[in-house]
Amino acid sequence: MAGRRRGWRSGVVGLCLLLVPLSGSSGCGGPTAADSARTEVQHVLDRRAAALLGHDEAAYGETGTRTPYENLRTVPLASWAYRLTGLHRSGATATADAELSYRVGGYDKAPVSADRTLTLGLTADGRWYVAADKPARKSAQQLWDQGAVTVVKGGHSLILGVGQPDGALRAYARLAERAVPAVSQAWGTHWTRRVVVLVPRSLQGMAGLLGSPPSSYRGIAAVTTGEAGGSGRAPADRVVVNPEAYALLGAVGKQVVLTHETTHVATRADTTPATPLWLSEGYADWIGYLGTGRTPGEAAPELARAVQEGRVPADLPADKDFGFDSDPTRLAQAYESGWLACRMIADRWGEVRLGEFYRAVGAHGKRAGAVEGALRKVLGTTPEKFTARWQDYVRAQLG
C-alpha cells in the first residue's frame, strides 16, 4: 500500500461527442470546390483506414504520415473508420475535424469514438495527404498518441503499454488473469470476462488518456473508464494505470487494485445513476480483498484510527467524499466505509444477497428511493436500521 492513503481509486469517464453536421449544398450549379475537397479528404481517410486494417504499410504511407501506423501495428484492431465533420481549407493546406471510431477485436462490443483533428496538405499533383493526426481540442489522447504500443495478450486480458518493458506488461497480465476469474466467482459470469488494461509511460501519460491534469491522479494507482448503465452500445471498459503510484504497492496491493478495477468492468451494466459510490466502490473493494487474508484493521487503517479515537461516522459516505481532490484521509475513510458496509452485508445476509442488493439498487434507474427500496426488498431492513447496524459493525471490526 502507498502509505496511509489508499493507492487506488476508480472512476467513470464519459466521452461526449459534438457531432457537427456536414454543411453546404451543391445548389443548381453542381458541386462546389468545398464539396469536392470534402469528398477527396474523406476518400483519403477511407484509404488510410483500409490500409491500417489490411496491414498495408506502403498504402498507408501513400496517404501521409506513417507514425500512427507504426504506433498501432501490434494492436488487434477489428474496425477503424473516420467520419469527416468539418474541413477548413487555406490554399494548399487544410485542417479537418473528424470522428474516429475503432474497435479492438475480441474485446469491444461496440466502437470506441474519439474526436480528432487532422492537418492536411496538397501534393504537387493536387492530392491531399495527412500530415498530422491528433486529439481534437479538449479531447483525451489515445494510447498510440503517446508512442508505439506494445501488446501482451492473456486468456482473459489484453495489456497495452507505451514505454514499458515487456516484463512489466506481462506482470500486469498475470494480475489480470487472476482478477477475472476471481470477479466471476463472486459476481457471476454474465459479463464479457475480459479486461483491457492501458499502461502509459507515466502519471502524465495517464492524465493525457483521461483528459485531465496530472494533479488529479497523483497517488491514484488505477482508474476504470466506461459507460454506466449498460446501454448495450458501450464498448469494453478500459483500466488505465498510473505506473508511478502502482509501483509503490506491494504484491497484495497490486492484485487488489486489478481485481477492484476488473469488478467495475464486470458490474458496469448494473451500475447506474441510482448506484451510490459507497456501494460501487465498496463492492469492488470487497471482491478485491477476498482471499487476501487482510484483516479489517489492515484494510481500513484510516477508519480504524477514527473509531479508536471515538469518531464513528454518523452516516455512510456521500458521493462527494469520493472525489479525487478530496482530503486524503477523508477519501480513504470513504472507501473503507463502503467496503465495510458491503462486507457486513456479505457476513449478515450472505454473498449472494449482496450481489442481489447491488443489482436491485442499479435497476431502480434513479437515485431517489433506490437504496431504500433495495434494503426493504432484498435485505428486509430500513435505512435507519441498516446504518445503525453498520455503525455497530464498524465498532466491532475496528474498535
279 or 4: which carries more pLDDT confidence?
A: 279
Nearest in space to 255 (alpha carbons), one of 321, 372, 175, 315: 175
**pLDDT tens digits for 125-162?**
999 999 999 999 999 999 999 999 999 999 999 999 99
Position 296 in a domain:
yes
Say if residue 62 is in the same domain as residue 211. no
Residue numbers of the domain that contains 241: 1-12+140-267
Q: Are 387 and 315 members of one domain?
A: yes
Handedness of CA 240, 245, 249, 253 (dihedral sign): negative
Q: How far is Cα 220 from Cα 206, in angstroms, rounded to an integer?
A: 10
pLDDT of 210 above 60: yes
Does residue 254 share a domain with residue 169?
yes
Residue that is last in its domain, among 83, 102, 137 = 137
Among 8-12, 15-19, 223-227, 296-300, name the one with the lowest average pLDDT.
15-19
Identify whether residues 88 and 127 lie together within a single domain: yes
pTM confidence score: 0.89
Residues 238 and 173 in one domain: yes
Same domain, 281 and 173: no
- Report if residue 100 sits inside a domain: yes
Overall number of domains in the chain:
3
Whole-angstrom Cα Rg for the chain: 24
Tens of pLDDT along 245-295? 999 999 999 999 999 999 999 999 999 999 999 999 999 999 999 999 999
Q: Is residue 25 part of a domain?
A: no
